[in-house]
Amino acid sequence: MKKIFTRETKIGLLAVIALLVLFFGINYLKGMNIFKPANYYYVSYTDVNGLALSAPVTVNGYKVGIVRSIDYEYDNPGHIRVELSLNRQLRVPTGSKAIIETDMLGTASIVLHMAPGDGRHDVGDHLVGETHKGIMQDLSTGIMPNVTSIMTKVDSLVSALNVIASNPALNASVSRLDAITASLEHTLASVNSAVNRLPATMNSVQATAGNLNAISANLDTLSNRLRSLPIESTMHNVEGTSQNLLSLTGKLNDPNSSLGLLMNDRKLYDNINSSVSDLDSLFVDIKRNPKRYISIKLL
């Protein structure tokens, strides 16, 4: 009886199994599940923006399919046809868009924007395709030119700073700043020394305050003594004296009084003056001729 599973048969079966495993493994790595039924739709793009096979197709962030194939449309130059493999349960409304979006790492995927309405696309229909610029493209087209212009200004600024730094006046200013810093340090040292002397100063202030208190006590004592003096009677005496002086002054000014006559009578003044002159002449003559007025007899 011949053996059914000969060596050659076993080798053939192993080869077929290996090919099947390889086929299913490759499709699995691509994200394709041949055992799961899917519907196929087509989208035409002018730029796929780095889209690759097996790229995910999402709706509201949820994966509903993959990119099955990407082919250039030779009969429609400038366009690329992308085949989408979507879950069979998904119904694509009429007017929906398949938009290619790129994340920060540069990985492209397709996002389905479902259109409102009750109409549905048939399997195999062409969807409306759009391509959104990725963040990196926005950086390269929007920000990089600005960065380039800024770099030019920065270069000019650096050149200006180099010119300023090489100016001798700047070095002189730095030297003056060093001198000012040294002066500030000296001032701070003086302030610290003054702060250290504050306790002694406070003691001196306290001693001065004690002296002021003693002076205040003495002034208080003097005030009490002044209050005890007979100021009222003294003021009466001063007032009486003032009245007497006023009376005397009035009499001196009155031409009818004796003092007034002495003070105001011109004739009396002239007579007194003449008498004084005569007395002066008499005294002069006595000095010159004493024998005329004094006789001395010798016995």
What is the predicted pLDDT for the residue at 80?
92
Q: In angstroms, rounded to a whole number, what is the distance separating the alpha carbons of residues 151 and 259?
A: 115
Average per-residue pLDDT in the chain? 78
Contact criterion met (CB below 8 Å) for 163 and 116 = no
Lowest mean pLDDT among 95-99, 110-114, 259-263, 295-299: 295-299
The predicted-structure confidence for 19-34, as pLDDT tens digits, reads as follows: 777 766 665 555 555 5
Q: Is the pLDDT of residue 44 over 90?
A: yes
Contact criterion met (CB below 8 Å) for 83 and 72 = no
pTM value is 0.40
Enter the tokens of residue 58: 């999402």
Report which of residues 289 and 24 the model is more confident about.
Answer: 289
Enter the tokens of residue 189: 């040292």
| DSSP one-letter code for 55 | -
Name the 3-class secondary structure at 121: coil
Q: Is the pLDDT of residue 194 over 70?
A: yes
What is the predicted pLDDT for the residue at 82?
93
Q: Is the pLDDT of residue 299 over 50?
A: no
What is the predicted pLDDT for the residue at 173?
75
